[in-house]
C-alpha cells in the first residue's frame, strides 16, 4: 500500500502512529478562497501586511484567490469542519478594515471549496513499514515556505516507481533505495524555509518596514 494522502495522512496515522509524533509546526496558518469577480489584465498579485498577518490576492491564468497567512501556535480544530475553519480566519482578520481585507473575508464566507491548514512539515525517520510506503506530503511535507512540495511529490513518485520496477519481488529493498535517493532532496527543501515566515509575515510594523526596504514592493491601494 502507498500513502499519498497529504499532510494529514490517514495511511501514516494507521501505520506509523499519531500525526503529532511527526508534525513540525512552523508557526503559521494559511487560507485560500476563490475570488471569481477579481479581474486584472496585468495579473497583479498584491498583498497587505499588518503585524503577524498577511492578506493578498494571488492570480494565475484566469483565476484569482484570496490568500491569508497569520501567525499562531497549533490550533485544535476539526480538519473536516469547513465552517469552523472559516471562523478561525474570521477571528484572525475580522477586526481589520484596511485595504481589501473585508472583501476577502466575504470571499471566505462564500467559497464552498475554501482551503485552510497549518504551515507545517512532516519529519519521519523512515517512510516505509512492511508493505506500506509514504509519498509526497504524507512522508515529508516541506510546507509552502519551501516552494518545493509539488516537485518533491513528483520526484518521490518517480523514484519509488523506478525502484519498485527494479525490485518487484523485494519491497523492503525497493523502499530503502527510494528513501536513500529521495531523502537528500527532502532535507534540502525542509531546510530551505529559512526566514520565509519573517519575510512573508513580519511580527511588527518595524519589521514590515525593514522587509519592504529589503524587497521593494509595488503598493496597491
- What is residue 218's predicted lDDT score, i.e. its pLDDT? 52
- What is residue 49's predicted lDDT score, i.e. its pLDDT? 95
Question: Which SS3 state, helix, strand or coil, does residue 14 take?
Answer: helix
Quick one: CA dihedral 202, 207, 209, 215, positive or negative? Answer: negative
Domain closes at, from 120, 137, 168: 120
Alpha-carbon distance of 16 to 2, in angstroms, equals: 13
Domain closes at, from 120, 136, 154: 120
112 and 44, same domain (yes or no):
yes
pTM of the model: 0.87
109 and 132, same domain (yes or no):
no
Question: Which SS3 state, helix, strand or coil, does residue 100 take?
Answer: coil
Do residues 59 and 88 lie in contact, with contact meaning Cβ atoms separated by under 8 Å?
Answer: no
- What is residue 121's predicted lDDT score, i.e. its pLDDT? 96
16 and 31, same domain (yes or no):
no
C-alpha cell at 86: 472559516
31 and 116, same domain (yes or no):
yes
C-alpha cell at 132: 506500506
* CATH (domain of 90): 3.30.9.30
131 and 113, same domain (yes or no):
no
Domain closes at, from 120, 145, 160: 120
Phi, psi of 86 (to 5 degrees): -60, -35
Alpha-carbon distance of 79 to 37, in angstroms, equals: 28
115 and 40, same domain (yes or no):
yes
Task: Give me the helix-helix angle, 82-93 and 101-110, nearest 10°.
Answer: 170
Parent domain of 206: 1-22+124-221
DSSP-assigned beta bridge partners for residue 53: 50, 70
- Number of domains the chain is built from: 2
Do residues 134 and 127 lie in contact, with contact meaning Cβ atoms separated by under 8 Å?
Answer: yes
28: Cβ contacts below 8 Å, ≥ 6 apart: 69, 70, 71, 72, 118, 119, 145, 197, 201
129: Cβ contacts below 8 Å, ≥ 6 apart: 15, 16
57 and 8, same domain (yes or no):
no
23: Cβ contacts below 8 Å, ≥ 6 apart: 118, 120, 121, 122
* CATH (domain of 207): 3.50.50.60
105 and 130, same domain (yes or no):
no
162 and 192, same domain (yes or no):
yes
103 and 158, same domain (yes or no):
no
Alpha-carbon distance of 125 to 112, in angstroms, equals: 37
112 and 128, same domain (yes or no):
no
30 and 6, same domain (yes or no):
no
How many helices (H) and strands (E) are present in the chain, helices listed first? 8, 8
pLDDT by 10s per residue, the chain, length 221? 899 999 999 999 999 999 999 999 999 999 999 988 776 666 778 899 999 999 999 988 788 999 999 999 999 998 889 999 999 999 999 888 899 999 999 999 998 889 999 999 999 999 999 999 999 999 999 999 998 889 999 999 999 999 999 877 899 999 999 999 999 999 999 999 888 888 999 999 999 999 888 877 554 44
Amino acid at each position: 500500500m502507498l500513502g499519498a494522502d497529504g499532510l494529514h495522512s490517514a495511511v501514516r496515522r494507521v501505520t506509523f502512529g499519531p500525526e503529532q509524533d511527526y508534525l513540525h509546526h512552523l508557526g503559521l496558518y494559511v487560507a485560500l478562497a476563490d475570488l471569481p469577480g477579481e479581474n486584472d489584465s496585468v495579473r497583479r498579485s498584491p498583498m497587505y501586511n499588518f503585524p503577524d498577518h498577511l492578506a493578498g490576492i494571488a492570480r494565475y491564468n484566469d483565476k484569482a484567490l484570496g490568500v491569508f497567512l497569520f501567525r499562531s501556535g497549533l490550533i485544535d480544530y476539526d480538519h473536516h469542519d469547513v465552517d469552523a475553519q472559516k471562523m478561525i480566519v474570521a477571528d484572525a482578520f475580522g477586526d481589520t478594515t484596511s485595504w481589501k481585507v473585508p472583501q476577502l473575508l466575504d470571499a471566505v464566507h462564500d467559497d464552498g471549496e475554501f482551503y485552510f491548514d497549518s504551515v507545517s512539515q512532516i519529519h519521519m525517520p523512515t517512510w516505509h513499514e512492511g508493505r506500506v510506503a509514504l509519498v509526497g506530503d504524507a512522508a515529508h511535507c516541506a510546507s509552502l515556505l519551501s516552494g518545493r512540495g509539488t516537485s518533491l511529490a513528483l520526484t518521490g513518485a518517480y523514484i519509488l516507481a523506478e525502484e519498485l520496477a527494479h525490485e518487484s519481488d523485494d519491497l523492503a529493498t525497493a523502499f530503502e533505495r527510494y528513501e536513500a535517493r529521495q531523502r537528500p532532496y527532502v532535507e534540502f527543501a525542509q531546510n530551505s524555509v529559512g526566514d520565509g515566515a519573517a519575510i512573508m509575515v513580519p511580527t511588527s510594523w518595524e519589521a514590515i518596514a525593514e522587509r519592504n526596504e529589503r524587497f521593494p514592493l509595488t503598493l496597491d491601494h
